Amino acid sequence: MESELKEKIHRALAPLKDKSGIVAFSGGVDSTVVARLFQKVCKKMELVTITSEWISSSEVEEAKTIAQNLNIPHEIIQISLGAETHLWENPPNRCFHCKLLVFSHLMDYAKRNGYNIVLDGTNESDIKGHRPGLKALEKLGVKSPLLEGKITKEEVRQIATHYKLPVARKPAMACLASRIPYGEEITLGKLNRVEKGERILRKFGFSNQLRLRDHNTIARIEINPKDFPILLEKNIIAQIVKELQVLGYSYVTLDLEGYRPSIPEIASE
């Protein structure tokens, strides 16, 4: 590991020495690296995963497995968003209200169990683009050590590789609601078919990031442009269209710009 990155890690961890805290744990590369680094300096810690109707069940299972690999106590808290009508209406600041709700649960859990702080995996690369959820973290006083150390996403992956963490090359994930454009009502039916649709797409061997964006009757597929040839080489277009139409989509499209995590006027992750 290069000395510059070591210095960034030192800067990130210095304020956390001998603290007791919980890590908001999704099982992604960012929260896993935060957990591994905090484990080195903390007095006491726990990983806490918040799950709801908007979180894929497969992600929760992965989080369980990774927490076991880290050998850190892990708690899963199920919350319901059923009464949060403003979230289902899907306004452009949806992520602010959602994170405010989720991290309020985490702050309450920390307080009840004698922890000093709540940490999350926000990194230096996350402050670019449309990220309304970051304001909620700031408002609640959540600690973001990767951001404090100015550690970028690529450097997070370098740290994960250094510690031989199984998530080093794991693609970024986001809640299922991020697949639905702002202003379009979020429903359980839409979330379920997005989850099933992405499961269908993953079996065809596309690399790294992919998303199925739900535009009511239209399924818009985002994959890495380097994977476009797979569609022709494997002659799978007809099969993808058929399987996605079974889920209720009338039209299946490929976004020629490829995967991108944050488009302010459409949705953000």
Categorize the per-residue pLDDT at 262 as very low, low, confident or very high, splitting at 50, 70 and 90.
low
The answer on 113 and 201 residing in a single domain is: no
On the question of pLDDT at 163 being above 70, the answer is yes
Percent of the chain with pLDDT over 90: 85
Three-class SS state of 79: coil
Are residue 39 and residue 109 in the same domain, yes or no? yes
**Same domain, yes or no: 152 and 187:** no
Does residue 142 belong to any structural domain of this protein? yes
Task: Tell me what the mean pLDDT of segment 96-109 comes to.
Answer: 96
Cβ-based neighbours of 179, under 8 Å, separated by 6 or more: 194, 211, 212, 213, 214, 267
Inside any domain, residue 210: yes
38 and 157 assigned to the same domain: yes
- pLDDT value for 106: 98
User: 216 pLDDT exceeds 90?
Assistant: yes
Question: Cα–Cα distance between 179 and 213 in angstroms, integer?
Answer: 5
- Mean pLDDT over 240-256 rounds to 97
Residue 260 lies in a domain: no
Say if residue 186 is in the same domain as residue 157: no
Give the integer Cα–Cα distance in Å for 172 and 174.
Answer: 7
Q: Count up the domains in the chain and report the number.
A: 2
Query: Is 266 part of a structural domain of the chain?
Result: no
Residues 217 and 85 in one domain: no
Single out the residue in 136, 162, 188 at which a domain terminates: 162
**Position 229 in a domain:** yes
- CB 51, CB 176: distance < 8 Å: no
* pTM of the predicted model as reported, rounded to 2 decimal places: 0.90
Asked if pLDDT for residue 130 goes beyond 90, the answer is no
Instruction: Please tell me whether residues 211 and 248 are part of one structural domain.
Output: yes
Polymer length of the chain: 269
Summarize the confidence of residues 85-98 as an average pLDDT. 94
Residues of the domain holding 211: 176-254
**Are residues 98 and 217 located together in one domain of the fold?**
no
Average pLDDT over residues 191-219: 93
For 251, phi and psi rounded to 5 degrees?
A: -130, 145
In a domain, 171, yes or no: no
Pairwise pLDDT comparison (2 vs 214), residue with the higher score: 214
Mean pLDDT across the chain: 93
Tell me, what's the pLDDT at 267? 65
Looking at residue 209, which CATH number applies to its domain? 3.30.70
Query: Is 191 a domain residue?
Result: yes
**269 assigned to some structural domain:** no
My answer on whether 30 and 155 are in the same domain is: yes
User: Residue 191: what residue type?
Assistant: L
**Residue 33 token pair:** 């690296």
CA distance 198 to 201: 5
Question: What value, to the nearest 5°, has the Cα angle with vertex 45 and ends 101 and 107?
Answer: 20
What does the pLDDT read at residue 260? 84
Confidence of residue 265 (pLDDT cuts 50, 70, 90): low
Do 150 and 195 belong together in one domain?
Answer: no
144 shares a domain with 25:
yes
Nearest to 230 by CA among 252, 212, 255, 204: 204
E strands, the chain, are 20-24, 44-51, 74-78, 117-119, 210-215, 218-223, 251-254
List, for residues 142-151, the tens digit of each pLDDT value: 999 999 999 9
For residues 14 and 93, state if they share a domain.
yes
Distance of alpha carbon 240 from alpha carbon 80, whole angstroms: 32
pLDDT digits (tens, 9 = 90+) for 183-192: 999 999 999 9
Phi-psi region of 213 (alpha: psi -120 to 50; beta: other; left: phi over 0): beta
